[in-house]
């Protein structure tokens, strides 16, 4: 098979959550264990850091990967979903997995695919582990897909577990309360393995404390260790001044991910680095600062307050749930602009009404959809939006919406594209 035939096979043959939703979610680890057994358990051949959470886990994973890369460590990075190219999911030192490995792996595992019928995600997890073992990485950052306890990635025993935060997302699969969602995410906490919690809320704190205690896992909460005293933007670099407990001098960090919400992720990353230092990993302040300043460049992260055009400013952001959209709205308020234009498309299983209720009334909307079965049709999204007094136009495809918005905006306006990772992935970023 060619690379394209291999990818088509993986996308069409295997149930894919990103396309069809809950029907593709396998709520146990049986298939992943069978796949990895057949591959001689590659996940046992390298060190890992496991990252879960409702929002921020992608950014945190990329920042940590950049820091470890800067430290001279051969660093694997497994994230999902991808924006443009399947190979974005599996990287070593910022380089995507090569096409030949994808072809060879799929051919090698094909008889087992036919036999056990795994999901797309289960296959990609096994592929990542196999690739990292073959590449002899020193350490790999492994981002969970959904939840934690029953996530396919949860067969590793990591050096460190990280849970960024808990919010409302995937309630149909993870539970209808923040406590239930927290319990699922806490499933990545392993016996005697330190765990860092990014943000906590009163509902979830006791859950993390209880599970960490049961597993004898040292627990640290990032926001209790440090706080961001001040921040500013300079040429798309976020500069944050951070105070640490028991330290009188403040530290300044430069981050090439400019969203204000990255200040929360920064604290999580700093505490994760502190825990890794205690375990003997070679990362000092200089390495941390350099890794943060070049996180995007080192790892190829896209879609986080990513500016793709000026005059008017066009920003892509993968925010797609209540917490993510709330932070995006805050960011838009802090960004100078004349008029606000929001291009939005969502998938059917999100909390759409709650998201729409958070969006500003004083904006022009362009309702659209990603080209996947899970996407909510643009006219249905527009009808729902009318109930919250959001007005605008409907377009069957995101680039049509963007062209229209560009034609009808002033050079000092702000255009935001958001609501779905898949929608952002379909944007043609070479705008003229």
Measured CA to CA, the distance from residue 131 to residue 14 in angstroms comes to 20
pLDDT at residue 146 greater than cutoff 90: no
CATH number of 306-425: 3.90.190.20
| pLDDT on residue 381 | 97
Name the residue with tokens 């090439």: 256
| pLDDT on residue 237 | 92
Q: Where in the chain is the domain with CATH 3.40.1190.10?
A: 3-299
For residues 274 and 239, the answer to whether their CB atoms sit within 8 Å is no
119 pLDDT band, cuts 50/70/90, is confident
| pLDDT on residue 126 | 97
| pLDDT on residue 259 | 85
Please choose, from the candidates 270, 235, 265, 268, the residue with its C-alpha nearest in 3D space to the C-alpha of residue 252: 270
Higher pLDDT, 298 or 19: 298
- Both tokens of 406, joined, read 């560009």
For residues 408 and 379, the answer to whether their CB atoms sit within 8 Å is no
Q: Which of 19-23, 96-100, 116-120 has the lowest mean pLDDT?
A: 19-23
Enter the pTM of the model: 0.93
Mean pLDDT of 43-67: 95
**Best-predicted range by mean pLDDT among 18-32, 233-247, 269-283?**
269-283
Phi, psi angles (nearest 5°) of residue 92:
-125, 125
Q: Please state whether 170 falls in left (phi above 0), alpha (psi between -120 and 50) or beta.
A: left
Measured CA to CA, the distance from residue 178 to residue 67 in angstroms comes to 31
Going by C-beta distance under 8 Å and a sequence separation of 6 or more, which residues neighbour residue 102? 3, 6, 7, 86, 87, 127
List, in sequence order, every residue forming a beta bridge with 176; answer none if it has no partner.
none
Q: What is the pLDDT of residues 336-387, one digit of tens each?
A: 999 999 999 999 877 899 999 999 999 999 999 999 888 999 999 999 999 9
Domain 3-299 = CATH 3.20.20.70: no
Q: What is the pLDDT of residues 397-413, one digit of tens each?
A: 999 999 999 999 999 99
Cα-to-chain-centroid distance, residue 195: 19
| pLDDT on residue 178 | 84
CA-to-CA separations, 360 to 128, 372, 411, in angstroms, rounded: 40, 27, 21
Q: Where in the chain is the domain with CATH 3.90.190.20?
A: 306-425
């Amino acid at each position: 098979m060619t690379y394209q035939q291999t990818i088509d096979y993986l996308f069409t043959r295997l149930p894919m959550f990103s396309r069809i939703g809950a029907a593709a979610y396998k709520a146990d680890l049986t298939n992943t264990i069978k796949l990895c057994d057949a591959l001689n358990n590659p996940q046992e051949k390298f060190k890992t850091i496991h990252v879960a959470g409702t929002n921020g886990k992608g950014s945190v994973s990329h920042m940590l990967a950049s820091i470890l890369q800067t430290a001279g460590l051969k660093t694997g990075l497994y994230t999902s979903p991808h924006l443009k190219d399947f190979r974005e999911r599996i990287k070593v030192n910022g380089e995507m997995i090569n096409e030949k490995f994808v072809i060879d792996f799929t051919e090698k595992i094909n008889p087992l695919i036919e036999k056990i019928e795994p999901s797309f995600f289960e296959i990609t997890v096994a592929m990542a582990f196999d690739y990292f073992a073959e590449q002899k990485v020193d350490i790999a950052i492994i981002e969970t897909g959904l939840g934690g306890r029953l996530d396919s990635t949860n067969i590793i025993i990591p050096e460190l577990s990280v849970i960024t935060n808990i919010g409302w997302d995937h309630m149909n699969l993870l539970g209808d309360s923040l406590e239930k969602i927290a319990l699922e995410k806490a499933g990545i906490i392993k016996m005697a393995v330190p765990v860092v919690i990014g943000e906590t809320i009163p509902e979830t704190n006791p859950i993390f404390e209880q599970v960490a205690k049961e597993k004898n896992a040292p627990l640290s909460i990032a926001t209790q260790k440090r706080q961001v005293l001040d921040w500013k933007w300079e040429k798309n670099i976020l500069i944050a001044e951070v105070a640490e407990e028991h330290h009188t001098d403040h530290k300044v960090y430069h981050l090439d991910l400019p969203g204000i919400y990255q200040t929360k992720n920064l604290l999580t990353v700093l505490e994760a680095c502190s825990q890794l230092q205690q375990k003997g990993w070679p990362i000092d302040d200089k390495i941390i600062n350099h890794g943060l300043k070049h996180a995007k460049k080192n790892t190829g992260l896209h879609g986080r307050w990513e500016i793709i055009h000026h005059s008017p400013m066009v920003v892509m952001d993968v925010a797609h749930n209540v917490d993510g959209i709330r932070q995006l709205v805050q960011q838009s308020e802090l960004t100078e602009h004349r008029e606000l234009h929001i291009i939005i498309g969502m998938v059917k299983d999100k909390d759409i009404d709650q998201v729409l209720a958070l969006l500003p009334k004083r904006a022009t909307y362009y309702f659209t959809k990603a080209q996947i079965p899970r996407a909510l049709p643009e006219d249905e999204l527009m009808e729902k939006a009318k109930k919250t007094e959001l007005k605008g136009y409907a377009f069957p495809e995101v680039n049509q919406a963007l062209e229209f918005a560009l034609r009808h905006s002033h050079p000092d306006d702000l255009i935001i594209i958001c609501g779905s990772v898949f929608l952002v992935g379909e944007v043609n970023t070479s705008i003229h």
